[in-house]
Amino acid sequence: MLPPVGQKLAFVNRNLGTSLMSVCIIAAQLVMVPVAMLVGRKADVWDRKPIFVVAASSSSTPVTAPHFCSSRPSLVPG
């Protein structure tokens, strides 16, 4: 998922490609850690099947989105 984003960002600005890829990785980790902690705490309360269904259904969007984006602002929110 991150290599296509990094490739498109590096194509736009060759000098900042590595830095932007690093920012993408750090941003993903900053989101992933709190979500994993929340789901880990609530797994017994919410049950595991609904958590799995939400995770499986939402995983296809970030994987395919970089392939359809053509501008840098649409790849990096904010």
Residue 78 has pLDDT above 60, yes or no: no
33 or 65: which leads in pLDDT: 33
Residue 66's pLDDT band, with cuts at 50, 70 and 90, is low
Least trusted range by pLDDT, from 27-31, 45-49, 72-76 = 72-76
Q: Across residues 52-65, what is the average pLDDT?
A: 72
SS3 assignment for 30-75: HHHHHHHHHHHHHHHHHCHHHHHHHHHHHCHHHHHHHHHCCCHHHH
Return the closest-CA partner of residue 5 out of 70, 78, 59, 60. Answer: 70
Please state the length of the chain.
78
Show the tokens assigned to 71. 């501008």
DSSP label at 14? T
Return the closest-CA partner of residue 20 out of 62, 64, 59, 78. Answer: 78
Convert the pLDDT of each residue in 3-24 to its tens digit: 777 777 777 777 877 888 888 8
